[in-house]
C-alpha cells in the first residue's frame, strides 16, 4: 500500500518528534538507532507486498519511544507514549492500535520466551531492530548499554543464563559479554524475512570473530603466539 501525501506528513512529523527526544541519548538507543531501524523497515516494507507502509514506518519510529528498559520495567509506557503522540496528530484509531501492538510485541524478552509478532508490519520492525543489535553496530551498542548501566565488560566466573521469563530477563545485570550468549548470537535464527536473514549472515560472522578475538586477548592467548 503506497503512502499518501498526508501519510508522508505524519511520518515526517513523527521523525522530527522522535529525533528531538532522542538526539542526546547515550545508551545505544539514540536517534541514530531509530533512524537506522526506520530506514531498514522501509527497505523491507518495499519488498513486502502486503505491508502497510504507514503502520510499519510509524512502528519503527516509535518502537523505542518509552522502552521498558528506561521506564522502571513498565511495558505500557511505550504504547501509551505512542498513542498520546499519534492522537495529537489526528491519526486514525485503527493505525494507532496497530502501532501500539508493534511496540508491545517487538522487544526481546529472554532466550526461552517466544515473541511472535501478530502483524507483518511488526515482523519487519522486529527484523530491522534485531539487525541493528548484531554486527559491528551491535557490538558497539552492547558495550554502550553495558557502560550506561555500569556493567563489567566480561567476567568468566559469571556464566550466561537462559532466561525463561521476561521478569528474569529484565532483572538480569550480568557482564556485557554474556549478553551475546543470552541474546545477540540467537537473533539471526529468529528473523522473519529472507532479506533480513541474508544481511544477518555477515553480521553474525563478524560478531563471532569479535568474540573469539576478545576472549583470546582476555586470556592472553595471543601473547604466546
Ligand atoms: P530490544 O527491544 O530487542 O531489547 P532495543 O532496540 O531496545 O531492542 O535494543 C536492545 C539493545 O540494547 C541490544 O541490542 C543491546 O545492544 C542493548 N542491551 C540490552 N540489554 C543489554 C545487556 N544486558 N547488556 C548489553 N546490552 C544490552
Ligand atoms: Ni530498538
pLDDT in the model for residue 29: 84
* Cβ partners under 8 Å of residue 34, min gap 6: 18, 19, 22, 60, 61, 63, 64
Shortest-distance atom of ligand 1 to CA 132: 14
pLDDT in the model for residue 219: 95
pLDDT in the model for residue 183: 97
pLDDT in the model for residue 69: 80
Ligand at shortest distance from the CA of 144:
1
Residue with the nearest Cα to atom 23 of ligand 1? 179
**C-alpha triplet 183, 82, 12: angle, nearest 5°:** 100
Pocket of ligand 1 (CB under 6 A): 28-29, 64, 67, 106-108, 129, 133, 138, 141-142, 145-146, 172, 176, 179
Ligand at shortest distance from the CA of 61:
2
Around ion ligand 2, which residues have CB less than 5 A away?
A: 64, 129
Q: Which domains does the chain have, with CATH numbers?
A: 5-219 (1.10.3210.50)
Low-confidence ranges of the chain (pLDDT < 50): none
* Residue located via cell numbers 511495558: 75
Amino acid at each position: 500500500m503506497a503512502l499518501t501525501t498526508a501519510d508522508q506528513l505524519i511520518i515526517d512529523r513523527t521523525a522530527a518528534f522522535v529525533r528531538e527526544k532522542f538526539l542526546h541519548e547515550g545508551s545505544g538507543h539514540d536517534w541514530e538507532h531509530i533512524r537506522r531501524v526506520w530506514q531498514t523497515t522501509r527497505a523491507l516494507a518495499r519488498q513486502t507486498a502486503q505491508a502497510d507502509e504507514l503502520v510499519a514506518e510509524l512502528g519503527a519510529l516509535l518502537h523505542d519511544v518509552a522502552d521498558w528498559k528506561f521506564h522502571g520495567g513498565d511495558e505500557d509506557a511505550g504504547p501509551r507514549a505512542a498513542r498520546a503522540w499519534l492522537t495529537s496528530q489526528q491519526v486514525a484509531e485503527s493505525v494507532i492500535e496497530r502501532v501500539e501492538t508493534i511496540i508491545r510485541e517487538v522487544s526481546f524478552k529472554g532466550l526461552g520466551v517466544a515473541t511472535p509478532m501478530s502483524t507483518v508490519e511488526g515482523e519487519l520492525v522486529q527484523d530491522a531492530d534485531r539487525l541493528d543489535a548484531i554486527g559491528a553496530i551491535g557490538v558497539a551498542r552492547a558495550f554502550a548499554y553495558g557502560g550506561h548501566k555500569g556493567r563489567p565488560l566480561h567476567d568468566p566466573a559469571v556464566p550466561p543464563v537462559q532466561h525463561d521469563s521476561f521478569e528474569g530477563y529484565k532483572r538480569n545485570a550480568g557482564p556485557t559479554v554474556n549478553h551475546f550468549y543470552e541474546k545477540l548470537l540467537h537473533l539471526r535464527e529468529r528473523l522473519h524475512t529472507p532479506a533480513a536473514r541474508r544481511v544477518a549472515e555477515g553480521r553474525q560472522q563478524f560478531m563471532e570473530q569479535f568474540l573469539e578475538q576478545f576472549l583470546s586477548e582476555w586470556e592472553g592467548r595471543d601473547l604466546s603466539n
